Amino acid sequence: MPAEQKSITEECGIFGIWGHPKAAELTYYGLHAMQHRGQDGAGLVVNNGKRLLSHKGLGLVNDVFSFAEFSQLSGNVAIGHVRSATEGSQVYENVQPLLFQSQIQSMALANNGNLMNADRLQSELEHKGSILQTSSDTEVVAHLMKQRSMEVNETAIADALNQTSGAYGFLILTDDKLYAAVDPNGIRPLSIGRLGDAYVVASESCAFDQIGAVFERDVLPGELVTISDDGLQSSRFAMRGQRRMCAMEYVYLSRPDSDVNAVNVHASRKQMGKELASEAPAAADIVVGVPDSSISAAIGFAEESGLPYEMGIIKNRYVGRTFIQPSQELREQGVKMKLAPVRGMVEGKKVVMIDDSIVRGTTCKRIVQMLKHAGASEVHVRIASPTIQHPCFYGIDMSTYDELIAANYSLDQIRSMIGADSVSFLSVTGLEKSIIKDKTIHQGICAACMTGYYPVTTDSTNSGNTGSQVGLRGGSDHGKQI
Amino acid sequence: MPAEQKSITEECGIFGIWGHPKAAELTYYGLHAMQHRGQDGAGLVVNNGKRLLSHKGLGLVNDVFSFAEFSQLSGNVAIGHVRSATEGSQVYENVQPLLFQSQIQSMALANNGNLMNADRLQSELEHKGSILQTSSDTEVVAHLMKQRSMEVNETAIADALNQTSGAYGFLILTDDKLYAAVDPNGIRPLSIGRLGDAYVVASESCAFDQIGAVFERDVLPGELVTISDDGLQSSRFAMRGQRRMCAMEYVYLSRPDSDVNAVNVHASRKQMGKELASEAPAAADIVVGVPDSSISAAIGFAEESGLPYEMGIIKNRYVGRTFIQPSQELREQGVKMKLAPVRGMVEGKKVVMIDDSIVRGTTCKRIVQMLKHAGASEVHVRIASPTIQHPCFYGIDMSTYDELIAANYSLDQIRSMIGADSVSFLSVTGLEKSIIKDKTIHQGICAACMTGYYPVTTDSTNSGNTGSQVGLRGGSDHGKQI
Amino acid sequence: MPAEQKSITEECGIFGIWGHPKAAELTYYGLHAMQHRGQDGAGLVVNNGKRLLSHKGLGLVNDVFSFAEFSQLSGNVAIGHVRSATEGSQVYENVQPLLFQSQIQSMALANNGNLMNADRLQSELEHKGSILQTSSDTEVVAHLMKQRSMEVNETAIADALNQTSGAYGFLILTDDKLYAAVDPNGIRPLSIGRLGDAYVVASESCAFDQIGAVFERDVLPGELVTISDDGLQSSRFAMRGQRRMCAMEYVYLSRPDSDVNAVNVHASRKQMGKELASEAPAAADIVVGVPDSSISAAIGFAEESGLPYEMGIIKNRYVGRTFIQPSQELREQGVKMKLAPVRGMVEGKKVVMIDDSIVRGTTCKRIVQMLKHAGASEVHVRIASPTIQHPCFYGIDMSTYDELIAANYSLDQIRSMIGADSVSFLSVTGLEKSIIKDKTIHQGICAACMTGYYPVTTDSTNSGNTGSQVGLRGGSDHGKQI
Amino acid sequence: MPAEQKSITEECGIFGIWGHPKAAELTYYGLHAMQHRGQDGAGLVVNNGKRLLSHKGLGLVNDVFSFAEFSQLSGNVAIGHVRSATEGSQVYENVQPLLFQSQIQSMALANNGNLMNADRLQSELEHKGSILQTSSDTEVVAHLMKQRSMEVNETAIADALNQTSGAYGFLILTDDKLYAAVDPNGIRPLSIGRLGDAYVVASESCAFDQIGAVFERDVLPGELVTISDDGLQSSRFAMRGQRRMCAMEYVYLSRPDSDVNAVNVHASRKQMGKELASEAPAAADIVVGVPDSSISAAIGFAEESGLPYEMGIIKNRYVGRTFIQPSQELREQGVKMKLAPVRGMVEGKKVVMIDDSIVRGTTCKRIVQMLKHAGASEVHVRIASPTIQHPCFYGIDMSTYDELIAANYSLDQIRSMIGADSVSFLSVTGLEKSIIKDKTIHQGICAACMTGYYPVTTDSTNSGNTGSQVGLRGGSDHGKQI
């Protein structure tokens, strides 16, 4: 589980389907494909032709749906959500989709992202007498819509979203329509596919492959898509800014088989490995990747450098949530958790160890120790992404500033702290080259956590021109590179 | 889980520890590292200084031990077992270690392997008035020992084992000793390690790495090791035959980070891929491995052939036992199970698809289809092991003869059946070259399922000279190659 | 479980405590004592000094709290709720207390009862832009309060309750106060007790005994009690009407050890049995009660009639929710569920069978058959309450009008349908005599389901003068008797 | 659960059925009716026409069978068992029926009772090379039979049982026969019933009523019943001794609706209450019974004494295994467990409190306190059975000698210790008069725990003449009374 290895957690994956008789079941499979985007809760809301029904719960998709009776969730339209909770928010009430039953018009909302001004908006709503039941940004948007209009429609949605600033992909289901929207800078991903005549919407294209659907296009920045029995209509709720997809989607978050903004994630990672090999070669015997997320980059590094790729670290496939953690005493004696070195491969070797990113450095340190303990004569750490030095306000839960090793220490200090013989990071330019293939698709990437250049700020009016504004910590050299 | 992908299931992994205050807990971690050897049951017996205590159950190691209170399983000595059950034998009673409480001397047994003459031995015992409670070979050995002697000791164990014929690794725990034995041909693996002053015994060396123990040596064919407060003593219960380790341990069963008879499994697999690339090259664009067990061979094939290795197939890490299986209708519509193609990698490409072995061919066929459906222009299947044409009598549960595709169809028929553009298997010679590095260690391998040459037969007297005898179906060309 | 035997289900029990360091844990025990009032959901909200925390779930109190960590629910103030759901409303969202977190002022509500005009109020709220998340009356009251005032206080509560009409006991918890209120006619019960310096509030006094608290007084009709660090203050939100406690609380719903409006439930039931023996004696050998709720009345009948009381029917104490129900085929062969006849007692005897009430008559019929099959020569059914002929709008979920046997058939038809040799019901006068001991406490009872005289109607303005108005189906003779 | 209230636990209930197509399912219902005889484990073995299949587990019948698929347990013949475990014996292996699969002849055994010489027999068997896997007496009998004969038949069974001494009811199922046997003194109960053409055997007749079967007769002391396709045959394996049914079956263990040796249990308890009222009247206002087992005696006492019977103590029906126990601190503050006083009934009253028996006196003391705390002015304890002063060797697990309050203290000391105003026990004569109605059926009762007169001793040769021998502590006055 990514959450154990890194201190980065994606907060969500969303899925929607319109026009298939097995809508709820396909939503289940779609969510399952995006399980890596959130392991703390899952849910779906189906329109059974008469009303909206909800099935949700805490835990993994399989936990939540293992006793689901899909026969009781029949209907042609559904939306679903997988959720990664922050400490203290792991309660049932926060699991999405949020369903609001009403005598007038019921609706369900699911969101992947973060609204930076949610607290202020919530406060304003409560002073007007509204009652909010969750700590979810998503509920704020529901209230904003209802304040504007009895009926949820394009106008109400546009009005509500324009009061927010942040990064998001939204799905809104009413009795007769399914809406999908992406933030004006296109920071969070959302794609449209087809499954026969049915429409499918998902955070990642791997959900399409899982159910046999075919990718059609991405939802554009600032676009509001309306799907109904009349087909798909597109409108804009905001002027389109420069499209700046979150770089961490490529580096770590998305599944390697997904295409994000027309770029395959595995291919971009492999390219990051190649760029890294060019930028920071190492005199070593073998290349080893930290499973699973760094394998693509490691293969790329090996290919570019000409060094053999070896399986020097292995991941136990049976480590799940119920794994009994070894005590500190046993860990010090060498009892491993989920990663183990392959002694036969690394003993006596100079090893290039590829990892996708470093947040606090603690995991990296443990792996270096493990390799050395298994006999590696040298360990050269190569990180297939730039240093993470700034917090994310757009929905990725990383460590706080104080914990970010690259924000607080020099490269040489980091090398020393993790016990490596050398350490290098990919440059921001190298990262961009690995991701941006076509400037008509990507005007840039959001690498705010690496550069401190934030495409959206809380005082943003979300006019769509945010691309040109000064970031929170803007003006840095890194920022200019993007 | 291997059992879902292939029709090959290892039946067991065994673990023992002598002289560590956390014996039971370390046994748990050791078993966890060997979970891939058996997912249907797990158990341990600990000597708490006064008596032998058992904790076991059906299911995965984590399921069985998730509520274990190790504080109540304190003691310095323990043995454990993971088990893969055949249809109908998945009952609690068969979960090992088998514990026999007695007023005279209690004992516990755990076994990895198969006794070919167990039925006959059981019948003889029952005619003498013995009552057997399980359908396990292991219980037969317990009765054979007790028939011989009130007290279990080296003589009783040797006497009992010499009445059996088969392939096995045995652990026997009494009030004051821990015994370990391997069959006279060394078909099944068993290794000895050290954790400080403590002795550790395990089917696979990955269990040592998991707990921070250091590999010392393998238990030799026909050797009976006795561990007690007096240290480790070795004796022989049978003349040593030619050591013929099961080839499937390298091909598929063992974890890539294990060393089996001093040969690293990943390295042997990578070499199989290299040999395969030499024997059967393919004019293609990329090399793709079927995860997880074929990745090593695929990397080897790529390295040798100079073709790029790509992640063309991805495995969903969250597929577990509770996964709701899609209906036939949904599967036909394209809903995937645990493997998904990476369209962005394979579309329009000529693909070399590496798999470790073929049993019935059904999985292979499905993956070829999947790749073609995802746009692969050609799929060249390369299998990194020889054709499986014969049943195993030594503890590996493969499909019956009728289901073995290679036993019933020609190479060209197989190619046509799985829908590939070409198909090739590694030769037995290539397999041997990938495994046997040092003739003083390996006198050969057991490749009976590939060659029909069986190192042990049921009328074997287990004298240790079995290596020279004629196999069940012996005399084939394949047989001679070994 | 009462719900299986009868078609009567109480919807709720509520509990609150102010000023005890183990508030949450004591709430658990208090709810446990009132488990019979609701088996479908349970929950509590505790004020931990900083904020309101919730723990709730579907199922029995023990199910919901079996894994509760009370150490994480510390605090001096808590309220709780047990819930009986109607078909389709058994969802987590509806489990009370409802907790509304707010930046301004959080609050939690728990209610026992029913608001007759909830639908209209909800519609009005939604037309003003409010979003309701549950199908619970209780949420309506929360919104009514918030519409009136940013801050929940006596005025806001009184204002909200005065917009409703129905029967209820309400608990409202804010950051610094605990409010308790009962409907103007006192139809639903709510009592105040003391546990040392702490205040306790509960639907039934048995909850006080369970935790060692002492009953102090009942909350009066139309009274709003405010408990805070300043002690207990009383105010009125409505003029007090005639106090008309629900008769079914005595007949069936409450625990026999509870005192409801100063009358012990067991004693009132025993008196019902005595009155019944006077009104409708039977020439029989023994008196038998249907366990558990009819035992008190049966003992009273036996005492008054001079016939011996015998255990002629026994209830299996181990029948729980997981009991596998016998198939129709097996039931026809005589496989019993939870009640069994005591053949040795009833064989050859003329039996007076006492039941507390009849709704649809199906259970009664089955028990008569069972007794006859066990050899009873005659079965004289005596029901210790009047006929139920009208629906309840005040929070008791009984069968629909069409299913009420007494609403659709004559006494002789009922006798014939249930297969008894004779059948009699207690008169309304007899019921009143059994309950009303002191006219200063009880001005009457609500026996609307028996008489059709409804003390509150939907067009009631809740002015407190409702006692004199004409009931929904009023003017009947029965109605006049009350 | 009786086990919580008293320190008396019955160890078993057994059930068998021959000749019904739903044999396993009916066994489930039969066991369910006898759940009170053992709550620690349950199981059944069915003969599906080809082989014996087992389904068993730890816990309540419902727990064990909640996921049973009876469709996979089809067959016409089955036996079952419910078990009450002593500390340390609560392991799966000990759950009965014990099933012994064999190539020659499989068999299953279930037993209610205790063999006094089991340890010695086990030792002898082990010295002959037998391996026993459980700590169950029952397994000893299986080995004794197999030592005698390859085939289990009447001779082998008789031979085995005659080597044992103790009290028991045995069921033995082979491929083609069902055997039932009772110890030569008839201490443990076992009855035969009919369900259509099928034969049914059960420890208690309540199991017959549960499934619609009709009682036919009791298995006689020393009788071996053989049921097969040829019908029912009877033989004797031992000369019949005086039939001395365990008195505790009437006092406490059996369900009130059962007939034990032609005497209804409720009736005998009511009579004990009447005898007690004659022997030890009390000047009081009301009679109160401790639920559930003392209700019958309390009603008898009330009837005989002319005092009103009131519900002065109530038992919470929802207390199950998962009930969170209040801490000592909370208990001292008055938080109750499963019994609560009915204050409205006992306040200011002189109460006769009827309990069925006293073992250690701790529960009795707590209830007296509870009644006084609730306002009872006097509490007169009347125990509807004689003092328990001796251990039971026949299968009832009572407190050890040191804990038996009546073995160590005088009547007045007991009164003082439990805090009562007076205390009296029923005389042994009174007990006999309540149970023995027909000397041709009961030659006496086993009241060894009360009198010290033991009908069977370990040096008994089980010749059937044990009735006349001197008991372990024989010759006491109490002993003579029987």
pLDDT, one tens digit for every residue, chain C (482 residues): 232 334 455 579 999 999 999 999 999 999 999 999 998 999 999 999 999 999 999 999 988 998 788 888 999 999 999 998 876 677 888 899 999 988 888 999 999 999 999 989 999 999 888 998 877 889 999 999 998 888 899 999 999 999 999 999 999 999 999 999 999 999 999 999 999 999 999 999 999 988 989 999 999 999 999 999 999 999 999 986 788 999 999 999 999 999 999 999 999 999 999 999 999 999 999 999 999 889 999 999 999 999 999 999 998 877 765 556 778 888 777 777 678 888 889 999 999 999 999 988 988 999 999 999 999 999 999 999 999 999 898 988 776 778 899 999 999 999 999 999 999 999 999 999 999 988 888 888 999 999 999 998 765 444 333 333 323 322 322 322 22
Q: Which residue has the tokens 């440059």?
A: A427
> Cα A112 from chain centroid?
8
Tell me, yes or no, if C35 comes closer than 8 A to chain D by beta carbon: yes
B394 — contact with chain A (CB < 8 Å)? Answer: no
Compare CB distances from D143 to B123, B127, B131 and report the shortest one's residue: B131
In a domain, D468, yes or no: no
Residue of A99, A127, A150 lying closest to C150 (CB–CB): A127
Supply the pLDDT for residue A8: 58
**Structure confidence at residue A252 (pLDDT):** 92
Confidence grade of residue B322 (pLDDT, cut at 50, 70, 90): low
Q: How many contacts, defined by CB atoms under 8 Å, are there between A and B?
A: 181
| C5, C7, C11, C12: the active-site residue | C12
Instruction: Please check whether residue D335 touches B, CB under 8 A.
Output: no
Residue D217 structure tokens: 């007769």
pLDDT confidence of residue D465: 37
pLDDT at D476: 29
> CB-based contact (8 Å) between D335 and chain C?
yes
Inter-chain residue contact C146 with A131, CB threshold 8 Å: yes
Task: Count structural domains, chain B.
Answer: 2
C287 and C329 housed in the same domain: yes
Q: What is the mean pLDDT of residues B434-453?
A: 90
Q: What's the gap in Å between the CA of B19 and the closest CA on chain D?
A: 26
Parallel, antiparallel or unpaired: strands B166-174 and B263-264:
unpaired
Which residues are paired to C218 by β-bridges?
A: C191
User: Is A447 inside a domain boundary?
Assistant: no
Domain boundary among D414, D431, D448: D431
A460, part of any domain: no
Cite the annotated binding site of A for [4Fe-4S] cluster by residue number.
246, 392, 446, 449
Kindly list the partner chains of chain C, i.e. chains with 3 or more CB atom pairs below 8 Å: A, D
Helix, strand, or coil here: B33? helix
CB pair distance less than 8 Å for C62 and D318: yes
Which residue has tokens 């798909």? Answer: A232
Top mean-pLDDT range of A131-145, A446-460, D83-97: A131-145
Is residue B225 located within the same domain as residue B269?
no
Nearest Cβ partner for C131 among A54, A122, A143: A143
Chain C residues near residue D341 by CB distance under 8 angstroms: 209, 257
**Residue list, annotated binding site of A:** 246, 293, 355-356, 392, 446, 449
Name the percent of chain D lying above pLDDT 90: 67
pLDDT of residue C464: 38
Q: What is the pTM of this model?
A: 0.86
Out of C431, C456, C471, pick the residue that ends a domain: C431
Q: Which residues of D touch C328 (CB under 8 A)?
A: none
What is the pLDDT, as a whole number, of residue D467?
36
* Residue D277 shares a structural domain with residue D144: no
**CA closest to A101 among chain C residues:** C133
Nearest residue on chain C to D63, alpha-carbon basis: C322
**Helical H runs in C84-221?**
118-127, 137-148, 154-163, 206-211
- The verdict on C104 touching A (C-beta cutoff 8 Å) is yes
pLDDT in tens, A57-73: 998 998 899 878 888 89
- A95 and A203 in a single domain? The answer is yes
Report if residue B377 sits inside a domain: yes
Is residue C234 situated within a structural domain?
yes
Do D185 and D87 fall within a single domain? Answer: yes
Q: Do B207 and B348 share a domain, yes or no?
A: no
Q: Per the CB < 8 Å rule, is D211 touching C29? A: no
The CATH number for B201's domain is 3.60.20.10
Per the CB < 8 Å rule, is D101 touching B126? no
pLDDT confidence of residue D321:
55
Q: What is the pLDDT of residue D28?
A: 95
Whether pLDDT at D426 is above 50: yes
A266 shares contact with chain B (CB less than 8 Å): yes
Q: What is the pLDDT of residue D322?
A: 53
pLDDT, one tens digit per residue, over B51-82 is: 999 999 999 998 899 878 888 899 999 999 99
- Tell me: do B162 and B225 sit in the same domain: yes
CB pairs under 8 A between B and D: 62
CA distance A404 to B17: 42
Alpha-carbon distance of C164 to B417, in angstroms, equals 74
Q: Residues in chain D, how many?
A: 482
- Position A12 pLDDT exceeds 80: yes
Answer yes or no: is A453 within a domain: no
**CA-to-CA distance for C97 and C203, rounded, in angstroms?**
14
| Among the partner residues C103, C131, C147, nearest to A123 by beta-carbon distance | C103
Q: Which residues from C are below 8 Å from A143, CB to CB?
A: 131
Rounded Cα gap, residues C314 and D273, in angstroms: 19
D87/chain B closest Cα distance in angstroms? 14
- pLDDT for residue B462 is more than 70: no
Q: Kindly give the interhelix angle for C137-148 and C154-163, rounded to the nearest 10 degrees.
A: 130
Q: Where does the pLDDT of residue D464 fall: very low under 50, low under 70, confident under 90, or very high at 90 and above?
A: very low
Phi/psi for A361 (5° steps) reads 90, -10
Could you tell me which residues of C are annotated as the binding site for Mg(2+)? 293, 355-356
The answer to whether residue C92 is domain-embedded is yes
Whether D265 shows a pLDDT value over 80: the answer reads yes
Provide the strand spans (E) within B66-164: 77-83, 98-100, 107-115
D364 is in an annotated binding site: no
Flag whether B touches A (3+ CB pairs, 8 A cutoff): yes
The pair of structure tokens assigned to A334 is: 């060498």
CB neighbours of residue B149 within 10 Å = 15
Q: Helix, strand or coil for residue D376?
A: coil
Q: Do residue A126 and residue C143 have CB atoms under 8 angstroms apart?
A: no
How does pLDDT run across D141-177, given as a tens digit for each residue?
Answer: 999 999 888 889 999 999 999 999 999 999 999 999 9
> How many CB atoms sit inside 10 A of residue D222's CB?
25
Contacts of B133 (CB under 8 A, 6+ apart): B93, B139, D99, D100, D101, D133
Tokens 């971690």 belong to B29
Q: Is residue D451 part of a domain?
A: no
Return the residue in B17, B257, B264 with the most chain A beta carbons within 10 A, the one to mutate for interface testing. Answer: B257
Q: Which residues of A touch B33 (CB under 8 A)?
A: 316, 340
Tell me the three state secondary structure of residue C75: strand
Neighbours of chain D (3+ CB pairs under 8 A): B, C
Distances (CA, A) of A388 to A85, A478, C53, D117, D437: 22, 11, 36, 75, 91
Is C12 among the catalytic positions?
yes
Q: Is residue B446 a known part of a binding site?
A: yes
C104 or A451, which is more confident? A451
**Cα angle D221, D224, D228; round to 5:** 145
Residue D240 in this model has a pLDDT that exceeds 80: no
Looking at CA atoms only, how far is residue B45 from chain D in angstroms? 14
| A438 φ, ψ (degrees, to nearest 5) | -145, 110
Neighbours of B75 (CB within 10 A): 20
pLDDT confidence of residue D441: 81
What's the whole-number mean pLDDT along residues D185-212? 95
Residue range B153-177: average pLDDT? Answer: 95
What CATH number corresponds to the domain at position A300?
3.40.50.2020
pLDDT surpasses 90 at D31: yes
Q: What is the DSSP letter of A222?
A: T
B319 and B426 in a single domain? The answer is yes
User: Which residues 117-146 of D have a C-beta within 8 angstroms of B?
Assistant: 119, 122-123, 126-127, 129-135, 142-143, 146
Give A292's contacts in chain B (Cβ within 8 Å).
317
Q: Is the model more confident about B51 or about A133?
A: B51
Same domain, C275 and C230: no
Q: Any idea which residues of D carry the catalytic annotation?
A: 12
* Shortest CA gap D210–chain C (Å): 5
Residue ranges for the known binding site of A for Mg(2+) are 293, 355-356
A-chain residue closest to B63, CA distance: A322
Q: How many other CB atoms are found less than 10 A from the CB of residue B223?
A: 19
- Which structural domain range is residue B414 located in? 263-431
**Which chain B residues in 270-329 lie under 8 Å from chain A, judged by CB atoms?**
270, 292, 295-296, 299, 303, 308-311, 314, 316-318, 320, 322-324, 326
Give the end of a domain, one of D392, D414, D431: D431
Contact D100 B147 (CB under 8 A): no
Residue D392 in marked binding region: yes
Distance from CA of A273 to the nearest CA of B (A): 13
Is residue D241 within 8 A of residue D222, CB to CB? The reply is yes
Task: Give B167's pLDDT tier (boundaries 50, 70, 90).
Answer: very high
Residue D472, pLDDT score: 33
Same structural domain, A334 and A388: yes
What is the C-alpha to C-alpha distance for residues B380 and B374, in angstroms, rounded to an integer?
Answer: 15
B356 annotated ligand-binding residue: yes
C209 and C342 share a domain? no
ipTM attached to this prediction? 0.85
Name the residue among D29, D68, D195 with its Cβ closest to that of C326. Answer: D29
CB atoms within 10 A of CB D193: 22
Span B92-139, pLDDT tens digits: 888 999 999 888 889 999 999 999 999 899 999 998 889 988 778 899
User: Are C34 and C101 contained in the same domain?
Assistant: yes
